[in-house]
Amino acid sequence: MQLGTRWTSGDEPPAAVPASLRPQIAAVDRALPTDDLGQPRPRWTLTFLEGRPIAELDTGMVVEQTATGAVVVRHDDEDEFG
């Protein structure tokens, strides 16, 4: 696994984030509840596994490109093989 980069949810993703993941990352960011109490926003982490990009939010949401090239959104406690 190769570490990519980190950024705060709602901010513009760094240039290292592939264009294929950006629309789904933005959709997850929009779906997050607003925080009126001033809590820090969660952060994304971009990594690459076997050359495929995976963006994971501190909350457990994952946006990844599969081996077939499809981009999927899931929560990290979901069974990706079931």
pLDDT mean values, one per 10 residues, the chain (82 residues): 81 95 97 79 94 95 96 82 48
Domain boundaries, the chain: 1-10+18-28+42-82
Report the alpha-carbon distance of residue 78 to residue 60 in Å, rounded: 10
Helix/strand number for the chain, H first, E second: 1, 5
CA 42 remoteness from chain centre? 11
pLDDT, position 35: 74
Say what the pTM is: 0.85
For residue 30, list its beta bridge partners.
Answer: none
